[in-house]
Amino acid sequence: MTPFTLARPASLEAARRAFSGDAAFLAGGHTLIPAMKSGLRAVDTLVDLTRIPGLDSIRRDGDRLIVGAMARHAAVAASPVVAGAIPGLARLAAGIGDPQVRRRGTIGGSIANNDPAADYPAAVLALDAVIETSEGTHAADDFFQGMFATALADGEIITAVQFRIPEAFAYAKFRHPASRYALAGVAVARFPEGVRVAVTGVAYAVFRWTEAEAALSADLAASLPALERDDINSDIHASADYRAHLAGVMLDRARKEIQP
């Protein structure tokens, strides 16, 4: 690993100040440290966010579930507040990686990274979330901008994710048996005005499946559309046709869980 200096600020303001030059924030480190070990990434300064108080809180505020950026996957999986508001989100967190990964990895790190096969981005998008940062807020619809790309500016820190509490939410994932990431993951949220559907693992970045949204908003038992896009990923793990088919199977599983 290329040497770097680690800053461990105790406040958000100090973290913003510590971020200068060639720097990165460190949350759970379960994406960043492997990337640095393999030489994919090198920085001069790492700014550790773990000492900033309050960033890992999980609370409900009216029709919103607010999950702090530093909430670990294991904490979300075990939280009674999450289980009460959006139980499918607790199940999603419990299905990320393995227990050791879940004890370190955070929601903020996962969405800042925006891996095309990560789980949380699908939930954030389907649940019409608002991403709170040190500089303001982003709507989920504008936040995810392509493979590993987000609306975050250099030095901008995610502080929390505000999920809109739906009438029902489900996430179905076909996991890669070795990595546990999604070969296809479909998140479905039922709101009074309609259904939102987000898909991960299938294309180069998470996306909303608008044809499925239209079909399910009209009738939850509708016959489902086939997924047609020109950016479906094809690799040694699965061909584009297979991934598109899996997305349909996962959509069918998830929609069965959100029936009234």
Ligand X SMILES: Cc1cc2nc3c(=O)[nH]c(=O)nc-3n(C[C@H](O)[C@H](O)[C@H](O)COP(=O)(O)OP(=O)(O)OC[C@H]3O[C@@H](n4cnc5c(N)ncnc54)[C@H](O)[C@@H]3O)c2cc1C
Q: How far apart are CA 168 and CA 59, in angstroms?
A: 18
Residue 113 near which of ligand X, other proteins, none (CB within 5-8 Å, type-dependent): ligand X
Select the residue interacting with other proteins from 12, 29, 41, 224 (CB under 8 A): 29
Q: Which of 97, 146, 225, 248 binds other proteins (CB under 8 A)?
A: 97
Q: Which is nearer to other proteins, 1 or 218 (CB)?
A: 1
> Using CB distances below 5 to 8 A depending on partner kind, what does residue 78 bind out of other proteins, ligand X, none?
other proteins
83-to-59, 167, 173 alpha-carbon distances in Å: 11, 14, 19
Interactions with other proteins, residue window 163-182 (CB under 8 A): 178, 180
What minimum distance in Å lies between the beta carbon of 226 and ligand X?
26
Contact 43, 23 (CB under 8 A): yes
Contact code string over 63-92 relative to other proteins, x by CB under 8 A: ---------------x--------------
Binding mask 6-45 for ligand X (x = CB under 6 A): ------------------xxxxxxxxx-x-----------
Strands (E), the chain: 5-7, 23-26, 45-48, 58-61, 64-68, 130-133, 137-139, 158-164, 168-175, 182-191, 194-200, 207-208
Q: Give CA–CA dist 77/164, Å, rounded.
A: 18
The nearer residue to other proteins, 104 or 253, going by C-beta atoms, is 104
Within 88-117, which residues bind ligand X (CB under 6 A)? 96-97, 101, 104-106, 108-110, 112-113
Q: Out of 15, 69, 212, 251, name the contact with ligand X by CB under 6 A.
A: 69
**Which of ligand X, other proteins, none interacts with 109 (beta carbon under 5 to 8 A by kind)?**
ligand X
The residues near 192 (Cβ < 8 Å, ≥ 6 apart) are 167
| Pairwise CA distance, residues 176 & 56, whole Å | 29
Edge-to-edge strands of the sheet including 45-48? 5-7, 45-48, 23-26
The answer to whether 120 touches 112, Cβ cutoff 8 Å, is no
Q: Of residues 208-247, which lie at the interface with ligand X (CB under 6 A)? A: none
